[in-house]
Amino acid sequence: MTSHSPASPHLVFAALVRAAAWPSWSPIDAVELEGGGDSEDRQQVGDTRIFRTGRAVSRERIVELVPDRRFGYENVGGPFRSYRGTVELAVAPRGGTDITWSAVFEPKLRLSGPFWRWYLTRFMRRMADGLASYAADSS
């Protein structure tokens, strides 16, 4: 999923590395850091975030941070054998930032792949669009 924000890659990246900001721009209701810590602070590689959306809870570990360019995470547990999400930021030719949110995954349940592709495509679209708007409003 790709969205465009008039904000700079720096502002978009700043929203990604602050867990406390996610409920402001995404469908996520609440977030906390595993093991405590302040979700207002900038997170680092190795940090695990716990997200609550309705009754669903997911744990995601940050596995890659390239300032102003890339944010990588893995889902820990949940309905996947493996899950790697990536948010790529690129300076847009017309200014601002192009945000590309993608994931590679293997579900635990056989034959559930098409459902998860459908669900995650819609969810990532909401995430990318919300991030783009939030960063623009922050500039």
Amino acid at 73: Y
pLDDT in tens, 63-120: 999 999 999 999 998 899 999 999 999 999 999 999 999 999 999 999 999 999 999 9
Provide the pLDDT for residue 1: 86
Enter the pTM of the model: 0.92
C-alpha to C-alpha distance for 72 and 88, rounded to whole angstroms:
9
Distance in angstroms (rounded) separating the CA atoms of residues 30 and 21? 10
The span from the CA of 73 to the CA of 60, in Å, is 6
